[in-house]
Structure 1
């Protein structure tokens, strides 16, 4: 008796859901500017990157994952801006590509920002 799986039976089984293999149109790149920056284009992330983004603990890590090689260029423009600019960019990137609960992540980032501002007033 062969231990090989019967692939034909598996493919034709109506009770088996199949994922991948189909050709899907990628989402349009996300285009943005920060202040007077050039226009940046962010391509749709692959599944590995999406999982990494969902597990990322910091805004910096999220942006690095989304932006890839463009990260350093974007940060040059983003760094001196108001923290809300960072939050808005991360939220819009996530929404554009239909990723995880962006409100939860944005609320977490907003809460960290408020906490830092409050800590600064106590000094």
Structure 2
């Protein structure tokens, strides 16, 4: 470990980057952040902006953005549902035929992270 007089700390490097307070350098080991449950995370008070943890309940890195916990779970900006077989379809779905308000799809999701959600789909048998 190397501590420079300007306060920079380097682990496995003799010359930590001058813009970094802490620089880790290695090819055989990784960085291991605090690991905790959602309840343990939510008990942290105060939460400084930028606080980072690994959430054991949802298996993802999260950070506090001064308003809410943000994570890299699933696709950027949200989560991916890959199995819609448990969903309920209403209406008639026919390729080349327009749909109306009776065409609905109900999908049950377990939301474990606050934030914006959007729904998009791939085309399957001409329907998306």
TM-score (norm 1): 0.30
Structure having the higher Rg = 2
Report the structure, 1 or 2, having the larger helix content: 1
Report the structure, 1 or 2, having the larger strand content: 2
Considering Cα pairs closer than 8 Å and 6+ residues apart, tell me whether 1 or 2 has the greater RCO.
1
